Structure 1
Amino acid sequence: MNRKWIGTSWKMNKTKAQAQLFCDGLKSWLSDNQVNDIQCFVIPPFTYLDFVASQLESSDVKVGAQNMAWAENGAFTGEISAEMLTDCGATIVELGHSERREYFAETDERVNAKVKTALKHKLKPLICVGDTLEQKHSGCSVEAVLCQVKQSLVGLSLIEVSNVILAYEPVWAIGEHGQAASIKDVELVHCAIKAYLKSLDHGLVDDVPLLYGGSVNPSNARDLIDCEFVDGLFIGRSAWQVEGYTQIIRLCQ
């Protein structure tokens, strides 16, 4: 793994004007700073996906979507297809976030179907997996997360698996009142995921970026990125302003 992936999802936030300010600030910062060892990515809401992709087109920043339908097209009111995402300039699609699982009843089987559709359309799936606080307290975090990882990859070839991104995001670490996982917690789960990938094929350990997300901020980013099994960071509110995002990039360099 040569480059560290450092990115942010805006969730249901920002106006078009705010998206413009972020893109302008990021482009300006990147023009003055070398980040060859970092793969930056930004995941805006659907409404600004085309706009953000066009604003960042001249940069090395990858742009993604926050969700996607499993179906190719049809009578699925309110859904967005993979073809629509690629047409808007997306190259990544975030799938299986715990908020999608909790509020919109997404199952592991549905996430797997979306992963397959994304890969068919040359989108890189960023698959989110994570344990609940109850699972953590009962000592089964590793088992719970590995189950999600395995279910999300069902039916994929080794080549297809090598084209996904995995993000460990503990449910208890996400959100305004979340608490970042300890280095020990992160290493425990990431080591188990890497071992599972290695059991499929030794080369996959290097091909599949494994990110950590959940209350990442400037005070813990350096320690997290220095973990042996962490290939990048998936950041929330600490990176919603371009100053916060670029600060974390600097720390991770």
Structure 2
Amino acid sequence: MTDAADVGGGPLWVGTSWKMNKGMSEARQYVRGLSDHVRRVGLSGVQPFVIPSFTAIAATRDELGPDSPVLVGAQNAHWEDGGAWTGEVSVAQVKDAGAQLVEIGHSERREHFGETVATTRLKVAAALRHGLVPLLCIGESAEVKRAGDSSRVILEQAAGALDGLTAAQTGRVLVAYEPIWAIGENGRPATVDELRQPFADLGREYGSATRGLLYGGSVNLENAADLLGIDHVTGLFVGRAAWQLPGYLRLLEIAAAHPKAAAVTR
């Protein structure tokens, strides 16, 4: 199995969370096709990852096999290793199921399940403690954007979640900027111009300090290359456009053809 702590070297990260979709058989079918594509085509300069529901993590990891370059993630995990937390799943448990990465702080978790800056900090620390890659999601509401306060809010979310980490620990964290107004079924795709300043600010604070800065929010086949071209963007975290395998494979091809991916392999 690929050691999540050793994956790096500056690839473009391209991944997808399936949210509450796909059972075990669907997950197996999807990653079987993904594995075939990777074997035939290769993924020079690109690091793929998929994040299934809890119930399909083990099936996904099993189908990919021990030597797959594709990382498997969990969509959430509790910060405690065990205990009386009915309905929760710990980082240790998702690791045991085959996860190598943990998504933390998605806006849906913040809105519907009470995720806070404090709990994201606990979860980032737990993921690092168990040797998994934390994928920290940050993003602001439409109201915050209209008030011109986007950068302050997302930088505070990032700083709060990473507070207390050593430089080495911070260097193992992925940060995904996902503006709330741009994600989901009713999200409005962000323009490149709208994203330049947030990523300039994130890049200044975390560009060289973290493992990578990803963008997520209405990513599709038409805008993926332009989004990757934004300064400090080192990957894409994709929703619906990657839920069907052909879409995800095309996004991987777009990333592999991007100059930033080519720079990794030179």
Task: Give TM-score scaled by structure 1 length.
Answer: 0.95
Q: Distance in 1 between matches of 2:43 and 2:31?
A: 16
Following superposition, the deviation at residue 170 of structure 1 comes to 0.4
The code of the aligned residue for 1:239 comes to A
Look up the match of 2:185: 176
Alignment partner of 1:133 out of 130, 142, 145: 142
Following superposition, the deviation at residue 175 of structure 1 comes to 0.6
State yes or no: 1:157 paired with 2:160. no
Give aligned pairs, total: 247
- Alpha carbons 1:187, 1:229 under 8 Å: kept: no
For 1:1-253, what aligned pairs fall within 5 Å after superposition?
2-57=10-65, 58-197=67-206, 203-204=208-209, 207-253=210-256
The code of the aligned residue for 2:34 comes to L
Following superposition, the deviation at residue 21 of structure 1 comes to 1.5
Deviates more, 1:41-50 or 1:14-23: 14-23
Identity of aligned residues (%): 42
Q: Secondary structure at the match of 1:118?
A: helix
RMSD, matched Cα: 1.1
The code of the aligned residue for 1:188 comes to Q
- Alpha carbons 2:23, 2:55 under 8 Å: kept: no
Following superposition, the deviation at residue 45 of structure 1 comes to 0.2
Deviates more, 1:55-64 or 1:168-177: 55-64
Q: Distance in 2 between matches of 1:38 and 1:54?
A: 22
Task: Give TM-score scaled by structure 2 length.
Answer: 0.90
4+ residue runs over 2 A deviation: none
Query: CA-to-partner distance for each residue in 1:5-63, whole Å, 9 max, x for gaps?
Result: 00000000012221122011111111211212100000000000011011112320000
The code of the aligned residue for 1:167 comes to A
Q: Distance in 2 between matches of 1:252 and 1:72?
A: 36
Query: Where does structure 2 lack aligned partners over 5 or more consecutive residues?
Result: 1-8, 257-266
Q: Distance in 2 between matches of 1:186 and 1:55?
A: 37
